[in-house]
Structure 1
Amino acid sequence: MTTKLQTDSTDQLIYKNEILQLTVLGGIKLEGLDRMRITVKVQLQESSRPPVRPPLPLVYN
């Protein structure tokens, strides 16, 4: 398997390689830009463990 970034959907970005798959979930809403947050779904390829989905706040200085 080669490393691949899928950007077909406006609601998620998917990055895959031989070990893991990262999915950035959600879209951009024009209201509430002062409290932007994303959810990243991280899962191991070919694993029975459930993926983790930590929400990450996007902060600017």
Structure 2
Amino acid sequence: MFDRGLLSIDDDYAMLVARDRLADTGTRLLNPDGKLRLPGRADLLPHPKFLEYHRREIQGLN
């Protein structure tokens, strides 16, 4: 879903879902609170620059 632009991640690690393009069965796979499950170590968190790139170039949100 991420690579097809159906799902992206906001700077606060909330999931951004293209609900108009994602079937209900796909949304059932997502964490119900709408947040990513994050690793315990800060050095393993997704880098904000890459998240912004994905929102801009892959999902077309920015």
Give the TM-score category using the shorter length.
under 0.3
With a CA cutoff of 8 Å and minimum separation of 6, indicate the structure with the bigger relative contact order: 2
TM-score (norm 1): 0.25
- Richer in strand (by share): 1
